[in-house]
Amino acid sequence: MKTSDAELEISSVPPLLTDVRHDTPFILDDGSVAYTRAAVVEDYPLVEDLHARCSAATLVGRYGAGRPGFSAAEWRRMADSPRSRALLVTPYQSDRVVAMASMVERSNAPEVCDVAMLVADRSPDAYQSRGLGTRLADLAADLARDAGFTSLAVTSLWTNWRMLLIVEHLGGPALPQTSYVRNMALLGLLPNSGLDVADELEFRIAL
């Protein structure tokens, strides 16, 4: 059977993260241990539970003004496509998911991997500010590099100082307002800037 040009073009691109590592251990800043694995379609209820473990502010930081989370159909496309992957993080000796990273090949620029993360912050599963996000970002960058991507793309609200610090850690720009936003957020004060709170910034990070 004759193969179309479109099929040839698709098949010439290696599937995203087909050799993704399973059960990768993380030792967090407080000495606790968590494990990362590739998500599968059947993990959808665990991903929904993760979103329930996140505050409204964390969900806004991840999804902006959009609807937080995934529909069942969206999750199936994410977890069951050769062009995307999700990584799930579980604590030691637990099946509950406390963080995830999504990795998606950009359709109009297949050398670019779009990365987004979500880390639970509601007690008793408060995992932010423990080094988990940084370690998860490092793993995502390593996997993207191994899969042949040349850059990561990260979109973040300008008030999401944790993600801005991760972008800087990965080799992205160090923004002068990050420390200010962090200090205001820790004090519970709304940052004052020329940018709207809902404004998003996109970063391209070379691998």
CATH of the domain at 138: 3.40.630.30
- 3 versus 41: which is more confidently predicted? 41
On whether residue 89 sits in a domain, the answer given is yes
- Locus of tokens 């995934």: 70
pLDDT at 174: 82
| Residue 9 domain flag | no
Average pLDDT over residues 6-33: 63
29 domain-assigned: yes
pLDDT of residue 99: 98
**Of the listed ranges 19-23, 53-57, 197-201, the one predicted with least confidence:** 19-23
Among 170, 102, 100, 104, smallest CA distance to 138 is for: 170
How much is the pLDDT for 201? 85
Domain membership flag for residue 199: no
Please give the sequence-ordered ranges of beta strands (E in DSSP) within the chain, or none if there are none: 24-27, 33-38, 84-91, 99-106, 109-119, 151-157, 200-206
Select the more confidently predicted residue: 27 or 181: 27
The H or E element that residue 51 is part of is helix 44-52
Residue 134 has pLDDT above 60, yes or no: yes
Per the domain annotation, does 121 fall within a domain? yes
Average pLDDT over residues 158-163: 84
Whether the CB-CB separation of 204 and 112 falls below 8 Å is answered with yes
Looking at the structure of the chain, the number of domains it has is: 1
Domain that holds residue 106: 19-155
Give domain status of residue 5, yes or no: no
Looking at the domain assignment, is residue 31 inside a domain? yes
**pTM of the prediction?**
0.82
Buried (b) or exposed (e) across 70-85, using 16+ Cβ within 10 A? beeeebeebbeeebbb
Question: Which tops the pLDDT comparison, 196 or 109?
Answer: 109
- Structural domain includes residue 164: no
For the cut 50, the answer to whether the pLDDT of residue 9 exceeds it is: no
Percentage of residues in the chain having pLDDT higher than 70: 78
